[in-house]
């Protein structure tokens, strides 16, 4: 109650000045803050789309200067920071890093991940990620990510549609489906909302154990309608 009163007092003060900071306006509009852990092709594309949709976004990677330039280019109040700053900033985190870096993400961010909704867009690719990918593929990418990012509420998504196609999804009719896997109901709900905002239709195929099917070059990869995804998923175990 105290926090709400303080929030309302702050909002009233800025309204008296005729303006509101982006974060307050976004909060009033129900827009989650999103921390991008990894700002490569998929991270930068999704961050741009969510920022354009009114979400406060912070980009992070191993190259802060790149992220500052990216944030300036994206506009809409986007900002840049370290991975720890992005993890602390975000109500939701998007992790899109080479799978060989997932262990380091878990160790570096540690307590900051606990209780956070994490959308896992990272794919284990043996030719790039070596033993880390091999172990993840043997265990299943969803369960492997949960082990590497302990305490996070993980939803596996954005693993099998090319990043370059994402900006055009709002124009597609019928809707293209985004298969997802997760165990936490609230995380699934929040991730599904973010997926719908960029024009895709989320289809839950099961818990994180089913995340093993959400990697490139498997039957669920590529662009499918929701009904096609459901039919394919029904044949998997």
Q: Is the pTM for the entire model greater than 0.85?
A: yes
Place of tokens 């330039």: 69
Question: What pLDDT is recorded for position 74?
Answer: 98
- How many helices (H) and strands (E) in the chain? 11, 8
Does residue 19 have a pLDDT over 90? no
| Cα-based distances in Å from 209 to 145, 202, 204, 232 | 10, 17, 12, 16
Q: What is the pLDDT of residues 181-237, one digit of tens each?
A: 999 999 999 999 999 999 999 999 999 999 999 999 999 999 999 999 999 999 998
21, pLDDT greater than 90 = no
């Amino acid at each position: 109650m105290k926090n709400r009163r303080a929030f309302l007092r702050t909002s009233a003060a800025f309204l008296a000045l005729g303006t509101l900071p982006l974060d307050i306006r976004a909060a009033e509009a129900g827009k989650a803050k999103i921390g991008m852990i990894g700002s490569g092709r998929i991270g930068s594309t999704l961050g741009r789309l969510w920022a354009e949709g009114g979400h406060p976004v912070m980009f992070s990677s191993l190259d802060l200067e790149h992220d500052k330039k990216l944030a300036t280019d994206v506009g809409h109040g986007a900002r840049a920071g370290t991975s720890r700053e992005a993890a602390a900033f975000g109500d939701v985190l998007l992790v899109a890093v080479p799978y060989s870096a997932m262990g380091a993400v878990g160790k570096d961010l540690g307590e900051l991940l606990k209780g956070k909704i994490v959308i896992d867009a990272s794919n284990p690719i043996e030719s790039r990620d070596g033993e880390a990918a091999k172990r993840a593929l043997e265990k299943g990418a969803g369960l492997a990510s949960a082990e590497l990012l302990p305490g996070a509420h993980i939803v596996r998504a954005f693993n099998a549609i090319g990043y370059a196609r994402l900006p055009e999804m709002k124009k597609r009719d019928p809707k293209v489906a985004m298969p997802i896997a997760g165990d936490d109901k609230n995380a699934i709900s929040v991730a599904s909302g973010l997926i719908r905002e960029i024009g895709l239709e989320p289809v839950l195929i099961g818990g994180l154990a089913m995340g093993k099917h959400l990697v490139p070059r498997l039957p669920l990869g590529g662009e499918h309608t929701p009904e096609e995804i459901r039919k394919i998923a029904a044949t998997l175990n």
